[in-house]
Structure 1
Amino acid sequence: MKIVVSGGGTGGHIYPALALIRTIKEKHPETSFLYIGTEKGLESKLVTRENIPFQAIDITGFKRAVSVENVKTVLRFLKGVRECKKMLRTFNPDAVIGTGGYVCGPVVYAAAKLGIPTVVHEQNSVPGLTNKFLSKYVDKVAVCFEEAASFFPKEKVVLTGNPRASEVVNATPSGVIEGFGLSAAKKTVLIFGGSRGARPINEAVVKAIPLLAKRDYQVLYITGEIHFDKVQQDIKAAGAPGNVAVAPFIHNMPQALVESDLVVSRAGATTLAELTALGIPSILIPSPYVTNNHQEKNARSLTEHGAAVKISEQDLSAETLIEQLDGILMKEEELQKMKKAAVGLGIKDASDRLHQLMMKLANSRS
């Protein structure tokens, strides 16, 4: 069996794709994969690290305002469709899945036009432009939030959840925290701003360093590669306390998560799938720069159940961050209450659900 996977731009689109690939490989070792992405996207690094065959196309996303650049995007899309048709004819897949990001547009559209069974996987509660467009052409739309179903043709929607949840649920402690010079005996906060980092979170954390230095808990902060040097310099200037460790990126995120007592992050769908799979309380800072403010709606699925608290970006400061950290980590009853609420919110068999959907479609072609 042969399957083409496409998804790019951010880890939120790529990690579910990789989790699905691992599940299918485990159950069907003979399956061949081709991943189509962009060279500029994070997928070019993450996918090749997994030794998955990778091919790139040149494509950009649409600007929401009227722009000459959108005309160029249409031309790139049409060129991308032609290139993808050639790749698909050569590889001859049994099914194609897009997990989000504008790169999926020409890949999945080309596959649908060639009569290859197609799926798009929507991780968020509010879908992006690419998946809305592709939903008209694909065979099935896999969703993670029931709220997303209303945006797609009813007969195509299947609730699968996020494959990343199935993958992280089996994670076990492996000394990741100690590897960064922190103590396994202390309560640990893992802070990250997504695969590319987030400047407002960086600024709040740096300003909070003098206060964090006085706390009994410790912090592992993942800055994002483009912010790392600046944050590291700022933290050194603030005294570089021993209970705060920083890193630009972490590849073994499931192990870091399972060793953490609390997470501070954006409200990306894949992150929330990981948190609920592991039952980890969180402080969520939704990004206001995403399509239709979908992170705000994603966060609501946790905050309404008591599994998380929210700080809006405009209210984020060193003081508000410390207030929330103290309110959870220094009150054991609150911490345990949030852990209990987080457990069970995710769909833990998401990989199996999506795998079964892909197999059904692929077998329909043979």
Structure 2
Amino acid sequence: MIPEQLNIRQNENLHEGRKNTVNVLVLGGSQGARQLNQMILKAMENPEIANKYKFRLLTGTSLYEETKRKSVGDAEIISYANDMKPNYEWANIVVARSGAGVLAECLVFGLPMILIPYPYAADNHQKENANYIESQGAAVTIHSTSEDPTRLVQILLGWKDHSEILREMGHTSLALSNVNAAYQTVSYFFH
């Protein structure tokens, strides 16, 4: 496939016909992230958050049962997904760690992000990744090792009635993506 032919959906953040519900995809990675799962479940206890946001948690296989058991809201709890495209297309916001892979995918789908870097990553690369994406305007970063949802709740409540903020972050996210990276790499070596 020629990179110019890629059809990328630019996230416009408030899907028609969904009563202005904002879909939040939570990604803990293949191993899961108990901190993210617990933070989301606690944030969902806030009635304004529960009313405005719909959550889909990809928990990781090892944390699925625990998260499902602790969930009291109407979050969609999924252990693992082989095909992430439908999840990214469903999402308006992503809450995730800040590894390079998830960031690249979120940027291609034009998704605003709330990043919670894994604090024990080698050379603190997740913190650096998150800080860069935040500095460009496509994400907000929460530097925390606790499950305290206070900052997450503040962010979500701040965005609750301001879809224009999410829309702009989505545009910025898409602008930061480089869907031609593989093509450019191959061209560099073989031309």
TM-score when normalising by structure 2: 0.83
- Contact 1:264–1:284 (8 Å) recurs in 2: yes
Which of 48, 53, 57 aligns to 1:217? It is 53
- Contact 1:200–1:313 (8 Å) recurs in 2: no
CA–CA distance in 2 between the matches of 1:281 and 1:342?
Answer: 6
CA–CA distance in 2 between the matches of 1:332 and 1:257?
Answer: 18
* Deviations 1:255-307, CA, capped at 9 Å, x for gaps: 21122111100001011111211211000000011110000111122100111
Which of 89, 92, 95 aligns to 1:261? It is 92
* Deviations 1:41-61, CA, capped at 9 Å, x for gaps: xxxxxxxxxxxxxxxxxxxxx
SS at match of 1:214: helix
Describe the shift of the 1:184–1:290 C-alpha distance in structure 2 as closer, same or farther (beyond 3 A).
farther
Alignment of 1:5-44 (within 5 A): none
Q: Which residue of 1 aligns with 2:183?
A: 352
- Contact 2:60–2:79 (8 Å) recurs in 1: yes
* Deviations 1:87-133, CA, capped at 9 Å, x for gaps: xxxxxxxxxxxxxxxxxxxxxxxxxxxxxxxxxxxxxxxxxxxxxxx
Letter in 2 for 1:215: N
Task: Give the CA RMSD over aligned residues.
Answer: 2.5
Q: Any unmatched runs of 5+ in structure 1?
A: 1-25, 28-165, 173-182, 362-366
What's the CA shift for 1:202?
1.7
Describe the shift of the 1:171–1:222 C-alpha distance in structure 2 as closer, same or farther (beyond 3 A).
farther
SS at match of 1:196: coil
- Contact 2:26–2:58 (8 Å) recurs in 1: yes
What's the CA shift for 1:252?
1.8
What's the CA shift for 1:354?
3.0
Q: Any unmatched runs of 5+ in structure 2?
A: 10-15
CA–CA distance in 2 between the matches of 1:215 and 1:332?
Answer: 15
Is 1:194–2:25 an aligned residue pair?
no
Describe the shift of the 1:316–1:203 C-alpha distance in structure 2 as closer, same or farther (beyond 3 A).
closer
Which of 64, 83, 93 aligns to 1:228? It is 64
SS at match of 1:353: helix
- Contact 2:52–2:160 (8 Å) recurs in 1: no
What's the CA shift for 1:206?
2.4
Is 1:273–2:104 an aligned residue pair?
yes
TM-score when normalising by structure 1: 0.45
Identity of aligned residues (%): 28
Equivalenced residue count is 181
CA–CA distance in 2 between the matches of 1:184 and 1:219?
Answer: 17
Structure 1 residue runs of 4 or more that deviate by more than 4 Å after TM superposition: none
Q: Which residue of 2 aligns with 1:34?
A: none
Letter in 2 for 1:211: N
- Contact 1:329–1:335 (8 Å) recurs in 2: no
- Contact 1:269–1:298 (8 Å) recurs in 2: yes
What's the CA shift for 1:171?
5.7
Describe the shift of the 1:256–1:214 C-alpha distance in structure 2 as closer, same or farther (beyond 3 A).
closer
Q: Which has the larger radius of gyration?
A: 1
What's the CA shift for 1:318?
2.1
Describe the shift of the 1:204–1:298 C-alpha distance in structure 2 as closer, same or farther (beyond 3 A).
same
Q: Which residue of 2 aligns with 1:294?
A: 125
Higher normalized contact order (CA 8 Å, seq sep 6+, divided by chain length): 2
